[in-house]
Amino acid sequence: MDQNRGNWYLLTGLILGLLMGIVYSWVISPVSQVDTHPSLLRTDYKDIYRLLISRAYQANNNLPRAEARLNLIGDDEPALALAAQAQRFLAEGGDHEMAVILANLSAALQSREAAENPPVQPTGTAAATDSPKNTEENGENNPDNPATSTQELVSSQTPPPTESPPFILQDSSPICDPTLGESLIQIVATNSSGDGIPGVAIQISLGTDPKDIFYTGLKPELGLGYADFSAEPGLTYQVDILDSGLIISDIEVPTCQNESDESYWGSWEIYITHPN
């Protein structure tokens, strides 16, 4: 009886010690938080990191370097992450210039991807992939030589991400499409080959009162040259393709009728093209 009781005490001691050890190592003195990787950064710091990469790209125009840096953050599709951040930035009333900088890098990645794989991915998904070469360049999995990320990146000069204006108006007309679900002013910018052009800045005004600025290419799943704006029925809008002098006026949400003769608000479609 006494012998059995002694064994239980031993087990209790072991369990108590185990619990104390785990509490100490997890709560009181956990493994210190140093030498971390950019992919572990908190979301707001990732935003700061992405913006810094975009600004550095704006300064050096080095797309491979920007791409290698973006790969460190670990986004599945870096171009989409940049576009989403630009949209968030604008939605939160952030600096337009910063949104443009983010959008430009996103557009550059998408343009390159579209150029590399036009038949497979016509809408241009993100270019950045975690290829073994990139991984090696980033210094990931290579702790003995972590600086290779910077020193081996090529200083190649890449062309500007967007084609220069002016644009020509191809079509501007009301459309009735009940599948859209809301009234939109949709803009599609293409080049002479019919390929979408990302990064085109568009200003929307109520009458002549500037209301918002947005960019093509921020919804790459709908096409590189696509952009839209939620319009309210009863208002008259003006669309200004910035830096091109092209202004499209008198845009209003049309009234449409479905097959059951029920009315609903339609949308407006604008097609612009770059002649070169």
Partner 1 sequence: MLLLGLGLGLLYGWVINPVSYQDTTLDTLRIDYKTDYTLMVAEVYHQSNDLDWVMNRLTLLKNESPLHTIEESLKFASQAEYTLPDMFLLRDLHNALKENN
1 binds partner 1 (CB under 8 A): no
Pairing of strands 263-265, 236-241: unpaired
Q: Smallest gap, in angstroms, from Cβ of residue 14 to partner 1?
A: 4
- Total of residues contacting partner 1 (CB under 8 A): 49
Residue 170: left if φ>0, alpha if ψ -120 to 50, beta else—which one? alpha
13 or 207, CB closer to partner 1?
13
- Choose which of 47, 55, 123, 254 interacts with partner 1 (CB under 8 A): 55
150 or 249, CB closer to partner 1?
150
Q: Smallest gap, in angstroms, from Cβ of residue 62 to partner 1?
A: 9
Q: How is the beta sheet containing 201-206 ordered, strand by strand?
A: 209-215, 201-206, 236-241, 246-252
Q: Smallest gap, in angstroms, from Cβ of residue 37 to partner 1?
A: 7
Stretch that binds partner 1, among 84-92, 150-158, 177-185, 252-260 (CB under 8 A): 150-158
Judged by CB under 8 A, the chain residues 84 through 143 that form the site for partner 1 are 139
108 or 270, CB closer to partner 1?
108
Closest CA to 67 of 50, 46, 47: 50
Q: Smallest gap, in angstroms, from Cβ of residue 20 to partner 1?
A: 5
Please name every residue paired with 257 in a beta bridge, in sequence order, or none if there are none. Answer: 263
Q: What is the DSSP string of 7-31?
A: HHHHHHHHHHHHHHHHHIIIIISPP
Q: Smallest gap, in angstroms, from Cβ of residue 92 to partner 1?
A: 19
The 9-38 site mask, x for binding partner 1 (CB under 8 A), equals: xxx-xxxxxxxxxxxxxx---xx-xxxxxx
Judged by CB under 8 A, the chain residues 169 through 198 that form the site for partner 1 are none
Q: Cα dist. 111→61, 154, 275 in Å?
A: 14, 19, 18
48 or 175, CB closer to partner 1?
48
- B/e letters for 106-130, b = 16+ CB within 10 Å, e = fewer, are bbbbbbbbbeeeeeeeeebbbbbee
Closest CA to 40 of 86, 74, 81: 74
Instruction: State the residues that interact with partner 1 by CB under 8 A.
Output: 9-11, 13-26, 30-31, 33-38, 40-43, 45, 48-49, 52-53, 55-56, 58-60, 69, 72, 139, 145-147, 149-151, 155
